[in-house]
């Protein structure tokens, strides 16, 4: 890929590997069982001619989000932060949002780590109210869910018509098993529920066979997302460094670029940066 293509990567993590929050890094993921600093991120983004980054929380604490916000304020490369709050607090989550806003100027959204929880938590009254509170703050709510949680997530979006939602990692379908039909159906429903719902084309390589994936494994899934959301509601995210267990950064970008060769009608600037600028209100600041 060349320097001529402007790119904003909507999904990067940083972490110090300590404490109980990294039990998800299994033995087979030893490649990422280490610290990842902003220096590391800056190097990989520079090598791949990436113009901006959205940092996403990796630890369910507001302290980590505060640290990311400080990094964002100190570094032009970072365009925004998706922080963590306990959305289950309902309207009381406002206090945590206020605290994060005071910690830095580039808070763009909130996510709660829903993927490992029973799907019904998404429809608890306090959770719904928490998402609505995020929206009232003109922040994006990012859905970290797996494919089987999509029906509840669709209902959540229905309950929050004023909230802008971003689905991360195309809702983690089982690409390795090539399970697609039910996920595809639900993604279409999700896209139709609200035109304020967007989708990150991210996290695919880790849902495929880490050692043996091929381009053709991903194309039906990208096609489905494109059909459902259209070119105005999709965004690129690398999911670096998690994606490293299955692919190098340039390979992740190449998957999308090869798919784009078959879709010359699509404005790839929208996929790679314009939609991100719109969703996260980036054009007015730090760009």
Residues 6+ apart with CB under 8 A from 283: 277
- pLDDT at 286 > cutoff 80: no
Closest of 276, 269, 274, 231 to residue 5, by C-alpha: 269
Whole-number pLDDT of residue 283: 64
- pLDDT at 31 > cutoff 70: yes
What is the per-residue pLDDT across 41-81, written as a single tens digit (0 to 9) for each? Answer: 999 999 999 999 999 999 999 999 999 999 999 999 999 99
Please report whether residue 162 resides in a domain: yes
The values of phi and psi at residue 206, to 5°, are -80, -10
Please report whether residue 89 resides in a domain: yes
Whole-number pLDDT of residue 20: 79
Please report whether residue 286 resides in a domain: no
Higher pLDDT, 285 or 22: 22
**Could you tell me the residue range of the domain that residue 96 belongs to?**
14-279
Whole-number pLDDT of residue 1: 43
Mean pLDDT of all residues belonging to the chain: 95
215 class by beta-carbon count within 10 Å (0-12 exposed, 13-18 middle, 19+ buried): exposed
**Helix (H/G/I), strand (E/B), else coil: 210:** coil
Whole-number pLDDT of residue 2: 44
Whole-number pLDDT of residue 287: 43
Whole-number pLDDT of residue 27: 83
- State both tokens at 144: 């970290």
**Strand residue runs (E) in the chain:** 8-12, 52-56, 78-84, 107-113, 140-144, 165-167, 197-201, 234-236
Please report whether residue 8 resides in a domain: no
Helical spans, DSSP H, in 107-149: 125-136
CATH number at residue 168: 3.20.20.140
Please report whether residue 200 resides in a domain: yes
Q: Which long-range contacts (CB under 8 A, 24 or more apart) does 207-214 make?
A: 207/169, 207/172, 207/173, 207/174, 207/175, 207/176, 208/175, 208/176, 208/246, 209/176, 210/28, 210/245, 210/246, 213/175, 213/246, 213/247
Please report whether residue 215 resides in a domain: yes
Q: Is the dihedral of CA 221, 223, 224, 230 positive or negative?
A: positive
- pLDDT at 19 > cutoff 80: no
What is the per-residue pLDDT across 80-137, written as a single tens digit (0 to 9) for each? Answer: 999 999 999 999 999 999 999 999 999 999 999 999 999 999 999 999 999 999 999 9
Please report whether residue 3 resides in a domain: no
Cα distance between residue 186 and residue 145, in whole Å: 13
What is the per-residue pLDDT across 193-248, written as a single tens digit (0 to 9) for each? Answer: 999 999 999 999 999 999 999 999 999 999 999 999 999 999 999 999 999 999 99
Please report whether residue 188 resides in a domain: yes
Question: What is the domain count for the chain?
Answer: 1
Cα distance between residue 78 and residue 224, in whole Å: 30
Q: Residues 3-28: what's their mean pLDDT? A: 87
């Amino acid at each position: 890929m060349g320097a001529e293509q402007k790119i904003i990567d909507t999904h990067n993590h940083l972490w110090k590997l300590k404490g109980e929050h990294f039990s998800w890094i299994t033995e087979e993921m030893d490649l990422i069982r280490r610290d990842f600093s902003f220096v590391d991120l800056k190097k990989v983004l520079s090598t791949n001619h990436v113009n901006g980054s959205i940092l996403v929380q990796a630890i369910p604490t507001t302290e980590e989000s505060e640290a990311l916000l400080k990094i964002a304020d100190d570094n032009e490369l970072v365009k925004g932060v998706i922080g963590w709050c306990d959305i289950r607090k309902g309207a009381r989550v406002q206090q945590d949002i206020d605290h994060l806003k005071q910690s830095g100027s580039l808070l763009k959204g909130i996510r709660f780590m829903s993927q490992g929880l029973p799907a019904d938590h998404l429809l608890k009254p306090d959770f719904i109210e928490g998402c609505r509170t995020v929206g009232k703050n003109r922040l994006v709510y990012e859905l970290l869910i797996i494919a089987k949680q999509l029906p509840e997530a669709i209902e959540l979006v229905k309950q929050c018509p004023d909230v802008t939602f971003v689905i991360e990692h195309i809702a983690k379908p089982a690409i390795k098993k090539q399970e697609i039909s039910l996920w595809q159906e639900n993604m279409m429903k999700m896209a139709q529920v609200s035109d304020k719902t967007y989708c990150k084309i991210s996290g695919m390589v880790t849902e495929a066979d880490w050692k043996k994936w091929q381009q053709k494994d991903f194309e039906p899934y990208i096609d489905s997302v494109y059909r459902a959301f259209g070119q105005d509601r999709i965004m690129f995210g690398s999911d670096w460094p998690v994606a490293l267990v299955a692919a190098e950064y340039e390979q992740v970008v190449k998957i999308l670029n090869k798919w784009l060769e078959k879709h010359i009608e699509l404005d790839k600037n929208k996929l790679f940066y314009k939609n991100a600028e719109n969703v996260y209100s980036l054009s007015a600041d730090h760009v």
